[in-house]
Structure formats: structure tokens, C-alpha cells
Amino acid sequence: MTESLHSFLSSGLNNLESKGLLNTIDTLQGPNGPLITVNGNQLINLASNNYLGFADKKELIDANISATKKWGVGAGAVRPINGTLQIHDQLEKKIAEFKGTEDALAYQSGFNANMGAIAAVMNKKDAILSDELNHASIIDGSRLSGAKIIRIKHKDMTDLENKAKEATESGLYEKVMYITDGVFSMDGDIQDLPAVVKIAEKYNLITYVDDAHGSGVMGKGAGTVKSFGLQDKIDFQMGTLSKAVGVVGGYVAGKGELIKWLKSQSRSFLFSTSITPGSAAAVIEALDEIMSHPEYVEQLWDNARYFKKRIKEIGFNIGESETPISPVIIGDEAKTQKFSELLIKNGVYAKPIVYPTVPLGTGRIRNMPMRTHTKEMLDTAIEVYKKVGNELNYL
């Protein structure tokens, strides 16, 4: 290896290891379902984003296989050359129907959607007002655009209004965008979108909502924007097809004019081959299932409410969560790591989230109840929480 690369890597790796920031990644020995197998041990899975249990659902697998047989394993080219198959058009129609918009554009992932969509409309003459807890892909996509990024205190509408007023009245910027998660992934709280829309209308802000954790979860599954009936007021409804939808891919849904623009100006769409025909077909099946089986989303919420109620009853703090995302706040970073280790040792797979992902002293275990957990699995998980809580003198 080149000496300069080696010295960079070895000192960097030592530094990460000494700070406890080196990633160790567990490999699953089967699907990411309600129970998973890691190192030969079967564990109750409270770590996935597979909210509805769609990642290994039979109907989606069948749709994937038959589309693969019909269309092949790959799209064969980037979309604007000749990598747009009919199944991609069908996918985008289905996303637009699901989101209640005129049109939609599919990307290879949610991360790619944010990398490609923000910079397609914003540039260095513009400003982006951004909630301070926004996802990493929003931050990176915003940086790529070259626009001035203005941090807004989390869900603070007074701060948003003040900074929107300042940015629009300063005359420094051609366009001003407000961008936010619909559901925040670390705390499970929901952005106050009706208040956002009022401010956006007053100051003529472009609005962009990343609903990665809202789709398939909020508003009968259609997402946070639609749950507030705001699909005509939010310019960009961005999301992922890899969480509740269970497959892979990302999208932007909005007005036809916006999608037309993205199709010729969004670089991650233009210069990267789209999702496979099999994935597209599995997503179409998933969206049909969400729309025709409202009980799936209900079952998810039933399990989530049950888990949160029981975990509170035994004495844990679950913070501000309003969604199935169920953080259990431990506080101290080392204690949070230890807590997760003991959970896993006792049969419950739930991961620690600590600084710098969340503020110092607010370390937590992030629990993701699924539609496909049985009450018995959740009860067992609660018993393990009780045991570990007592062992660490936390309860």
C-alpha cells in the first residue's frame, strides 16, 4: 500500500478505536425479520427499519422474482440513455398515487435522492433553512448545492420565522428553501408541518420534507405530509423505499413541472443506473399492499403503543417519541453501550445511539417495534429490559 495512505489509515483507525468510534458490524445469518440470527444466536430484533415486515414478505419476493424473469436483473443503462423500463414508469406512477402528487421520480436510494434533488434546484445564490436534527443525507445534499445553510433550532417555529424573515428580507438570496425530516429518526418526534406551511406561505419558502421514517408509518401509511393533508402545499415529498416499504430506492414526489426539471437536471438520477426491475416490482407490490391493507399500519402502531406503554411502566424514559421509534434514554455513553451489550447477550438485539449522533449525555437504545413482532416477543424483550435495568442499577 502507498505509504501516505497507510499512515493516514493506521493513525486514523487507532484514533477511532481509542475513542470507541470504530464500527463493528454484525452480520445476519438470515432475513432481517422480527427474529434474527447473529453468531448462531436467535435474537428478538428491535433494530431494523423493516417496520411492516415487508423485507422478506412472500408477495414482494414473488413480485421481485417474476419481474426479474421478465425484465432481467439490471436496467442495462442509466435512465436517460435507455435504462428506463416500463416497470420504472409504473413504479413512479405508483409512488405519485401513494403520495397524492402529480408525478414522482425514483432514485437508487434515499441518500441519492437528497444528493440529487436539492442541488438540482438550489445553488450558491440561494439559502437553505435546515432543522438542526436533519438526516446526514440532507446535510450532504445541501452542502453539495453550494447554497448558504442556515441552521434552525429543532422544531422551533419562532426561530424558523425569524430566520425566514431575515433571509428573505436581506436581499442576499434568490431563493430560500426550508428543509426538514417529517419524522426524526433518533427521537421519533414529528415536525409541525401545518405551522411550517404557514410560515413558508408568508415568506415564499420552497418546502422540502424528507419522510423516510414517515412513509408506511404515518397517515395510514402515506406519510407525514399526507397525514396533515398538505400534499398540495409541500413542494418536495422525498422519501425512501428501504424502510417501511422494505426494498431499496428513494424518490421525490411533487408537481409535474418539478419532476420534469429533475429528470434533466438531477445528477444522481442522470449519471447512476436506476434500481433493478425486481426491486421496482417489489416496491409496486409493497405500495399496493399498504394502500389496500390499512390493517398493516394499524398492527404496527398497536405493537408500538404496547411496547412503549410497557417500557414506560417498568420505569424507563422514552423521551419525546410520537411514532413507533422507541428510544430508551440511558444518558451516559459508556453505560448505554454496556446496556446494549447486555440486551444482546440476553436475546434482544437493540443498538446504542450515542454522541456524536445524539447530544452528549443523551445516549439511548433505539427500539424499532415491527408489525410482525408477536406480543410474546415484545413481552420477552420487556422482561430482558427489566433484568438488564436491574443488573446495571438503572431501575
Ligand X SMILES: *Cc1c(COP(=O)(O)O)cnc(C)c1O
243/212 Cα distance (integer angstroms): 7
Length of the chain: 395
**Which is nearer to ligand X, 177 or 377 (by Cβ)?**
177
Which positions ≥6 away from 13 have C-beta within 8 Å? 22
Nearer to ligand X, 179 or 328 (CB): 179
Position closest to ligand X via CB:
110
Residue with cell 413482532: 373
Residue closer to ligand X by CB (options 325, 378) is 325
C-alpha triplet 179, 125, 162: angle, nearest 5°: 50
Q: How far is the CB of 284 from ligand X (least distance, A)?
A: 17
CB of 13 to ligand X, least distance (A): 26
Nearest distance, CB of residue 165 and ligand X, angstroms? 27
The residue from 243, 274, 279, 308 that is catalytic is 243
CB of 200 to ligand X, least distance (A): 19
For residue 43, give every residue at least 6 positions away whose Cβ sits within 8 Å of its Cβ, in sequence order, or none.
35, 36, 37, 344, 347, 348, 349
Integer Cα distance of 54 and 66 in angstroms: 17
Q: Around 237, how many Cα atoms within 13 Å sit in the side-chain half-sphere?
A: 32
Q: How far is the CB of 14 from ligand X (least distance, A)?
A: 30
264 as an active site residue: the answer is no
Look at the block and give the residue holding cell 406480543.
Answer: 375
Nearer to ligand X, 167 or 297 (CB): 297
Nearby residues of 17 by Cβ (< 8 Å), 6 or more positions away:
none
Using CB under 6 A as the criterion, which residues of the chain lie in contact with ligand X when the complex forms? 109-111, 135, 137, 181, 185, 210, 212-213, 240, 242, 250
Nearer to ligand X, 33 or 110 (CB): 110
Please, which residue, 135 or 163, has the CB nearer to ligand X?
135
Catalytic residue among 57, 135, 163, 213: 213
Cell numbers placing 386: 427489566
Q: Cβ 111 to ligand X, closest distance in Å?
A: 4
295 CB burial (10 A radius; 0-12, 13-18, 19+) = exposed
Query: Catalytic annotation on 88?
Result: no
Q: Which is nearer to ligand X, 108 or 362 (CB)?
A: 108
Instruction: Supply 338's cell numbers.
Output: 454496556
The nearest distance, CB 250 to ligand X, in angstroms, is 5
CA dist., res. 251 & res. 245, Å (int): 12
Query: Exposed, middle or buried, 21 (CB in 10 Å: 0-12/13-18/19+)?
Result: exposed
Q: Where are the strands (E) in 272-360, listed by range?
A: 326-331, 348-349, 351-353
Using CA atoms, how far apart are residues 152 and 209, in angstroms rounded to an integer?
15
The C-alpha cell that represents 192 in the structure block: 409541525
> Which member of 185, 227, 268, 340 is catalytic?
185
If one counts every other C-beta atom within 10 angstroms of the C-beta of residue 168, the result is 17
Q: Is 309 assigned a catalytic role?
A: no
Catalytic positions, written as ranges: 185, 213, 243
